[in-house]
Amino acid sequence: MVVTNSHANDNLPERLLKLRDVRAMTSLGTSTIYRKMAAGTFPRPRQLSEACVRWRESEILNWIDALPAAA
């Protein structure tokens, strides 16, 4: 299954990211990611199997793009 990536300037197929990839892209720790998900301020992963979840790369990139600029 190939999902198209909606992030600007990318025509590549959608990638599904492991938690370690999400941590590397965001510089957030595991606890912070799950705390933000519980608060509704971070993308939730997709359930691939009973013990396997992955995040859509485009959702993580969109979340990063939506962060406010530092003052």
Which strands, in side-by-side order, build the sheet including 16-17?
16-17, 52-56, 46-49
Q: Give the closest residue to 44 by CA, choosing from 63, 24, 28.
A: 63
- What are the sequence ranges of the domains in the chain? 16-65
Kindly report, residue by residue over 31-66, the tens digit of the pLDDT.
999 999 999 999 999 999 999 999 999 999 999 999
pLDDT at 5: 53
With a CB cutoff of 8 Å and minimum separation 6, the contacts of 53 are 19, 45, 46, 47
pTM of the model: 0.82
36, 28 contact by CB (below 8 A): yes
Kindly state the greatest CA–CA separation across the chain.
43
